Amino acid sequence: MQISTGQVIGTELGMVSASYVSSKVFYKDFFNSVRNFFGWELKSYTEMLDVSRDEVIKRLTEKSISLGADCVSNLKFEVSYMANGSLAIMGYGNAVRVRK
């Protein structure tokens, strides 16, 4: 679901949203605290964010296709870290059909 340069949005089908919550792994969290102490990248958290974002995009795509959309415009993400170390990510945008 991709819109190319020069294509024009024809019909807006409504807002679509999807969310995903993932939790951290205890032993990775221990090593992350050591990495954080030295100011290094927290790779397992970066990976957790990437996987979560990809899952939200997959779910948005499925919902949009079920509405008959060609793409999602104005896609936005919201990310929250919960007290127990979980990551919640929500994506939303407008399901649209392009003018042929």
Domain boundaries, the chain: 8-99
3-state secondary structure of 48: helix
Using pLDDT thresholds of 50, 70 and 90, give the confidence band for residue 100. Answer: confident
Q: Residue 12 has what pLDDT?
A: 92
pLDDT in tens, 55-89: 999 999 999 999 999 888 889 999 998 777 788 99
Using pLDDT thresholds of 50, 70 and 90, give the confidence band for residue 4. Answer: low
pLDDT in tens, 88-97: 999 999 999 9
- Looking at the domain covering 8-99, what would its CATH class be? alpha beta
- pTM, full prediction: 0.74
| Residue linked to tokens 């949005």 | 9
Tokens of 94: 């407008």
Query: Which backbone phi and psi does 48 adopt, to 5 degrees?
Result: -60, -40
